Structure formats: structure tokens, C-alpha cells
Structure 1
């Protein structure tokens, strides 16, 4: 069966830039235009609105210059207005050759915003299209507020379509401007139009106000539309536009009769770049491109993945240039830990794995996020702790640090079954802790080693807030030794390293 080709027009650089607080620089627009056309391989890009600013003009000039050299100029589009040729003059200076002319798709907008009759509006549209043709500019038309037009004034919409069908336009673009359509309406409205005008090319432009944009896109395709307007990361005004990555996955997996040009492995890279340029983070749970999408958290899922991939679906991360991850936390269990150990090339016996699992669960209970890079530190800390017969326990402590007052510590320590309590001040919380400890050991006539080096670090490669490691070097009787502590709190990790020193001496 021959597949039906659907054009993909990306409007991240135009409609996506209408996201509140987003503005691309000239170089950013050019970089994204190149990526969208050459790497992601969208069919067309809408790069700007005419007349907006000098910076916008420079952006389009840079893009059209590059596109002309590459033979892509007919794939670069600019939003224009029915404004007696002002937009067309702007396009001429920008070097663009395809205008997406904004016209009224509902009687409500026409009557109350333009205050014109359909006949007046159509005459001005016809004049604008003719002027564009004189300048060698190809025209597509937007029917702004088309979705409400179909709901409330369908007679006007079909009157408009009858008029525009006789004009030299290449594409008629049907926007759900306010994101109000249900998928039932999308199918009904578009199928009516396609059946009445089978020779015309129709694009669907969905917005996501009810989180229905992807469903509406599916129904628009089924109804017979010929093109889709999408944005990277669903950027756009209000709740944004139909998101590129989700639509591509849905079309490829659920509409086998449809062919699109998009290269799936490039989706994640382009998504990250748009996020970096805009400063808008990608939600962790956003389909296809979010951080958590290919991360298994529950241990039972990781176990199932090892047994015939029980928890896999068709959304394999490799399709999108990504890898499956296994989160470490209180619900992860031994299976998740084993998966991460395999990636690191580490092996543990059952007893060691049990201890490490328990430590990760403890960190998870404290709401700390553990990463794969933390694992070697946790393993070392847990296994080192078990090799020493513990006779000294730091049972409890209170660390205080207040503005204008010297830091202080109250502590309770158990030494070979006997309990001691002391309070001391110091230059910092840990210094106060050590001073209190020295008081305890002075009463036992034991001199503590000298602290000669103190280093704090996080596991290399880790970007989590779960762990920091404190390494303390001590000197006693002209001999040096080092102890280490691991915790999410820097001072607590130093106290743990000190507790190990107390057991060694």
C-alpha cells in the first residue's frame, strides 16, 4: 500500500516565539533553521512575522541568504498581513518568497475586529495575493479563528473557501487558534471541507489549551488534511502548539498508512537546543524528550525488563537518540541497582547488594536523588563500615549557627557502652563538634589525633543532591591515616568520617 505523505511545517521560530518571555537572537534563529531543515528534515519552516522588529528582519535576511544558497528558499515562510502591501515590502527586503497571509476564518473576528463585510475582506485578500504574485511571492492563507468559525459561522467559512478556491494560493491553513476543538469536531470539520474541496491543500494548526492537540492532529490526518503545523517542545502562546516529538511518535506508531519526513533520532537534540536558547526547561515527564520518560523507577519494572522486556513498549529510547535509565531511590530495589552496576562494570555478592540497597533506601527516605555516579561511593562507604568492629557511636548532636553568635555543638557519644555528653563552641559547626569531642576524650585522658587535611567532594559525574564525601586526614604518633564519611549533608559526612577515626584509635 502506497503511503500518504503529510507535510510537516515547523513554526517554532514564529508561533513558538510567542511563548511569553521567549525571543530568539539572530544567530539562534539561523542555527535552529539549519537544524530544522537539514537535521530534523521538516518540510517547511515558518520563521517570523513581518514588520515586527529590526532584529526580526535581520534574522530572516540571514536565513533566506543561507536557504537560497542551499536551494531551500521555497521552504522558508513568513507570516504576513492584509495591510495594503506593507508586509510584502518587508518580505522583499528580507529576501523571503513564501507568505502565510493572516485572514479571518470566523465571522465573529471579521465583524468585531476588522469591522468589515466578507466581500470587503475578500477583495483586500485578493489584492494582496495579486501584489505578492507580481513580486514573485507564493501565498498560503491562514483562516484565523477557523475552529470557532466552523462552530458558530460555518456559512461564512464555506463562503470564504469558495472565494479562496479561485485564488492562486498553494495552501489553506486551518488553525484552532484558541485551542478549543475536541477530536470529534476536528475530524468532522476537516472531513467536511476536504470532501467539498478535494483538489485543495489543507494544513491543520493545533493549539494545546485543553491538552488535546496531539489527539486533534491524529483526527485531522484521518479526516484527510495534507499538512501539520508543529513546534519543538510544544512552544507557543498560552498552552502552546501541538508538540513535534509527540506527534511524530504517534504518527509513526499508530498511523502506518502515513509517511512523514522527520528524523526521529534528531528530535531530542533539537529539543534540548530549543530549551537552552529559550531558557524554558523541558518538564521531566514530557513525552519523548523529558528526562524521566525512559527512566524506570520501580524495582519490579527493572526486574521485568531483565525478563523478556516485560515493561518495554514501542517507544524505545534508541529511536530518539536516548538510553533507558534505572533510577535509584527508595522504590528502586535490587534490580535497579543491578542494572546500574552492570553499566559501571561492578559486581556485588548478595550480602553486599543487600547492604547497598538498604543505604539507597535510607537516602530515598530523606528525599535525596541518587545517581549512577554515586554508586561507587555508596558501595565503598557501606562495605568499609562493615569491616570495622564499632565500639564508639556518636549517638546524637545539635549543631547551631546563628548570626552574631559563635557556632556551638552539643553531643552525646557512647564509648564501649558508656555514655558521655558535652557542649562546646568553635569557629564553625564542625570545629565546635571537635571541641566538644575533645572534652569527652580529655575526661578519659585520651588525646585525639590532629586533623591535618579536610576535603569535601561530590562523586565525579554526579549531578544529584544525594551525596557528598568528606575525606579527613589525621596524624597520630607521626603516622597519618584517612577516614571518609558519606552523607547528603557536608557537616554530617564529616562527623561520620570522625566517628570512623574514633573507632580506629
Structure 2
């Protein structure tokens, strides 16, 4: 027995563009259209609403020209209206060959919005479908507010379906327009329609107002729908539409007898492009495409992955063109560190690994995430041979100020063995002010500080503004030259840490 095939219609460029603040340019729409059809392999795309604007018309026209050259024109669809042929005329000029006709799927919408009887509405729909057919345009029909129609006016819904069954339409599309359905209702309503009209091609269009869109998609497929309407990143009005990334994963893993065309490994690539074009950021914890969803943070999970992949599931990141990561922070264990060191081609003995792990945990208490790229700096700091001294000098506290129009200043408290000194000084920068105050302390002790001969700061490539940085300072006394390092997410603090090491060495 062959698998049942489900069509996937992507409506990112039409329904998804109704996300507040989103408007794709003509070139962005063409680029996304190409990716959806050629890279992600969706079956159809709904790219616009008819009659919206001149810019929309040009975008649709460009997509249709490309689609005609590449034999995709029958996969390009636009939303149209029961408007005595105005939408059909728009389509003919734009070159579109498939209309998704918006009709009323609930009695409330029909009575209070159109103020018409079912018979009047059906007659006007019939005229539009006939005109489309005469002009070589195929018709699918949306039953707007169908879910409320099934809840509150089922007699009307079935009266409509009786009528539309007699018309030359390719697909009957059932939207949960306001995202009100529960999975149980989705199951009941779709089953009832499917049993009553076994020969209709039925599409289901879910919205996510209760965060149930993916669950409702799953139930709709179980109950025999022929097609699903989805958007990249779940974009859409209010809480959005059913996300293509989640729906595809759910169908593949929980309904293996269902065949869909989507190329999973391209999902992340398309998702990130849509994120860039739309300006709508993907939440870090969004299933499949969020930055953190394939990142193990707890050390016990990394350890379990080392021992027969105990924390793996069927949602392997490689399916979606991604890689598993092991976060570094206060919950890290040795296994997390080792996973990241392996990726960098580094290996430490047990004692050094313990020291590095402890340093990562300390840093994680102050900085939310330590990156893999930070590790070489942490290793350098922890294993720094210049750190092997008895600590007799500590910079107990300091206040650094930097104001426009005023010289930077520093107030410091330094403990030298059992004696505490406080001083204040100004300088050309915060660290210079710190060093001037420190010089005052050492003059009281009749001691001389080494000369600072070189100063460099390094930050891991590709880091953010909160990245760890490493400051390396070269010092020179009468009889030797040596360097010290400091590691922190604040560059001035790095320099102070390196300076404290110097104070103990001398």
C-alpha cells in the first residue's frame, strides 16, 4: 500500500506578510518564492492578495514571469475576492493562473459582514468561478471563518459544501481563521467533512492564537485532509500561522505513513533568510529553528550524550541543516568542556580540565554564556605560569569614572599584606587613572612599579559586545621583562586583573 501524499502550500508571502510591521519588497518576494519552490520543495505558494497595491502587482508579475519560464506557474496562487470579476481582471494582467477565492464559511460572517443570504452568496461565487474558468484560471475556495461556522452554524457550512461540490473547483480550503480550535474539535470537524464529501480535495489552514496550530495540523492530517497551509517561522497575523518547520517534523516523526515533499535540510536556511527579510526575529527557544534548541547546557546532558547518546531524540539537528552545541556556563560540567575542546582540536589532562571547568563556572555566574571561541583565552588564563605565586597584594575595590568634558578618574583600595591603602587619581583614560592611583600607593611604601612597555587586547572572532576579552601587558624592571594576562568581559577589568598579577610577581 502506497503512502498518502499531503500537499504543502506555503503562504508566507501572503498570510505571513500580514505579520504586523512586515512588508516584503518585490525582489525579496521573488527570492523567497524561488527558495520555497526550488530549495524547500513546497508544492504550492500563495504569494499575494489581488488588488492590494501597484507594488504588489509588480511583485506578482515578476514572480509569474519567472515561474512561467521554469514551469512553476500552476504552483503560484493569489487570494481573490467575490467582486464581479475585478480580481480576475487583476490576475489576467499579472499573469496568475490559480485563484484562492475568499468566501464566507460561517453564517455570522455572511449575515453581518456581507448582509446577504446564502443563495445570493452562492450565486455570486458561481459567477466568479465561471468567469475564471472562461479565462483559463483554476479556482480554489477559502471558507473564511469555517471553524466558527462548524461550531455555530453547521447547517450553513454543509449547505455551502453541497453547493461548492457542484462547481469546477480544485480545492476546498478550511481555515481556522481566528485560531480557536482545539485538537479534539479539529478531529471532529474535519472527520465530519471528510466522511460527508469523500471526493473533495480538502486543505486545512491553521492559526496559532492558542499555540495549538501544530497540534491541530497533526489531527487534520490524521482525519484525511489532502493539503496543509503553512508559513516559514509561523509568520502571520496576531499569533501567526502553523509553522512549516514544526509541522514537517511532526508529520515525519509521528505519521510516517504520510508522504510530504519538503526537503528538511533546507528548512533552517530558508528560515534564516525570511527572518532577515522580514525583520521578525526567531525566538531562541523556537522549535527546530531557534538558536538554543539544539544546545545542551547542563553538564549531565553532555555526559549522557557521551554515553550512548542518552539525551538524543529523533529531532537530530543534522536533519535541518544544523549542528548540536554544548553551552558553557555555570551549569557546565567536564563533558561540556570536552565536547567544545574536541571541536577546537584541543585536549587537556584531568587536572587542567578541572581548573578550566571551574573557571568556566565562575565566569558563567557573571556572564550568561561562555562561547566555544572563549575557551582558548580561558585556558591561557588558567594555565598561565605567571599566576603561580603567593598572593600578597589584592586590589580590594575600585571606582572608575569616565564623563564627557571631565578627565577620567579612579579611586582604589589596595591591600598589601595586612595593610590597606586608598588613593584617588586622574588620567588620560580609566586604566591610566587606575595606574596613577596605584603609583601613589606604592610611593607611600617607597616602592617603584615596573614600566608598562606593551599592552594588547584580544576578543574571540565573531563575538558579541559581552564577549570575554584577554588583555596581555608586558612589564619591564631593571633586571627582567615579563608579561601578565587578565581575562574578563570588561576590557578595563582585564587590565586590572593583569596588573594585580604583576604586583604579586614583583
TM over 0.5: yes
| Secondary structure of 2:425's aligned partner | strand
Equivalence map 1:144-293=2 (5 Å): 144-293=144-293
Q: Partner residue of 1:371?
A: 371
| Secondary structure of 2:161's aligned partner | helix
Bigger shift: 482-491 or 40-49? 482-491
Q: Distance in 2 between matches of 1:319 and 1:153?
A: 43
> For residues 450 and 490 of structure 1, do their structure 2 counterparts lie closer, same or farther at Cα, with a shift above 3 Å needed?
same
Bigger shift: 348-357 or 290-299? 348-357
Bigger shift: 474-483 or 51-60? 474-483
Residue 501 (structure 1) shift: 2.5
Q: Tell me the alpha carbon deviations over residues 357-393 of structure 1, each in whole angstroms, 9 at most, x when there is no partner.
A: 1111111111332100000000101111543444432
Equivalence map 1:299-310=2 (5 Å): 299-310=299-310
Q: Partner residue of 1:434?
A: 435
Equivalence map 1:380-391=2 (5 Å): 380-384=380-384, 386-391=387-392
The normalised TM-score by structure 1 is: 0.97
Q: Partner residue of 1:143?
A: 143
Q: Is the 8 A contact 1:466 1:488 kept in 2?
A: yes
Q: Is the 8 A contact 1:372 1:462 kept in 2?
A: no
Residue 403 (structure 1) shift: 5.4
Q: Distance in 2 between matches of 1:270 and 1:464?
A: 27
| Secondary structure of 1:273's aligned partner | helix
Residue 417 (structure 1) shift: 4.7
Q: Partner residue of 1:84?
A: 84
Residue 462 (structure 1) shift: 3.2
Q: Is 1:329–2:329 an aligned residue pair?
A: yes
Q: Distance in 1 between matches of 2:376 and 2:465?
A: 14
Bigger shift: 471-480 or 270-279? 471-480
Q: Tell me the alpha carbon deviations over residues 50-72 of structure 1, each in whole angstroms, 9 at most, x when there is no partner.
A: 01111111111111111111111
Bigger shift: 447-456 or 26-35? 447-456
Q: Distance in 2 between matches of 1:18 and 1:327?
A: 36
Q: Distance in 1 between matches of 2:274 and 2:248?
A: 17
Q: Partner residue of 1:457?
A: 458
Q: Tell me the alpha carbon deviations over residues 249-271 of structure 1, each in whole angstroms, 9 at most, x when there is no partner.
A: 00000001110000100001000
Q: Distance in 1 between matches of 2:465 and 2:249?
A: 30
Q: Distance in 1 between matches of 2:473 and 2:13?
A: 53
| Secondary structure of 2:394's aligned partner | strand
Residue 480 (structure 1) shift: 5.1
Q: Distance in 2 between matches of 1:460 and 1:388?
A: 32
Q: Is the 8 A contact 1:326 1:336 kept in 2?
A: yes
Residue 335 (structure 1) shift: 1.1
Q: Distance in 2 between matches of 1:55 and 1:454?
A: 56
Alignment coverage as a number of residue pairs:
505
| Secondary structure of 2:239's aligned partner | coil
Q: Distance in 2 between matches of 1:362 and 1:288?
A: 31
Q: Is the 8 A contact 1:201 1:225 kept in 2?
A: yes
What value does the CA root-mean-square deviation take over the aligned residues?
Answer: 1.6
- In the alignment, structure 1 segments of 5+ residues that lack a partner are none
Q: Distance in 2 between matches of 1:259 and 1:276?
A: 30
Q: Distance in 1 between matches of 2:226 and 2:156?
A: 22
Q: Partner residue of 1:485?
A: 486
Q: Tell me the alpha carbon deviations over residues 423-452 of structure 1, each in whole angstroms, 9 at most, x when there is no partner.
A: 222233212110111112222333323334
Residue 481 (structure 1) shift: 4.1
| Secondary structure of 1:42's aligned partner | coil
Q: Is the 8 A contact 1:16 1:231 kept in 2?
A: yes
